[in-house]
Amino acid sequence: MDGILYFTALTGPESRSVLWSSDGTEKGTTPGPLVSGFINPAAAGGYLYFTTEFDLMKTDGKRVDTVKSGLERLGEPVAAGGTIYFSALANTRNTVLWKSDGTPEGTVVVKDASPDSNQPVSPELLTNFQDTLFFFAVNDSR
């Protein structure tokens, strides 16, 4: 993101994950905030977005903020067209497609793709291709 490489590394006796940033030089490689485990972030709007067990998080490489909490079964985020997309459970108890502009109020369900509650369909393998989001709709009753 912006010419900086970000990566996580386990550190200390408690094996906590630290987000590091590097401009490719020894002097420009520095530790940042603690993050929850190894992350697979998506970049948008100057932030890296990642999910934890119950939260959508964002970081600028210096601090970590919660965007939306209290979610379940979160999938890895994908950036497409400047928007963050991910899957998570909704009130219907189906896994559905969500989007975020990086704010709590701008993090909303896009659509529950299930034709009816007896045949739940989940978005999987979210992929950005030329700033357009693509995904598979998979029948959850497998």
Residue 8 in contact with residue 39, Cβ under 8 Å? yes
What's the pTM value of the predicted model, to 2 decimals? 0.83
Residue 88 in contact with residue 74, Cβ under 8 Å? yes
Q: What six digits make up the tokens of 126? A: 């979210």
How does residue 37 score in pLDDT terms, banded at 50, 70 and 90?
Answer: low
Q: Which structural domains are found in the chain, ordered by start?
A: 5-139 (2.130.10.150)
Residue in this structure with the two tokens 């386990």, named with its chain if needed = 10
Q: For 52-59, what is the mean pLDDT?
A: 88
40 pLDDT more than 60: yes
Give me Rg for the CA atoms of the chain: 16
Average pLDDT taken over every residue of the chain: 83
Work out whether the CA dihedral 136, 137, 139, 140 comes out positive or negative: positive
Write out pLDDT tens, residues 8-30.
887 766 667 888 889 999 998 98
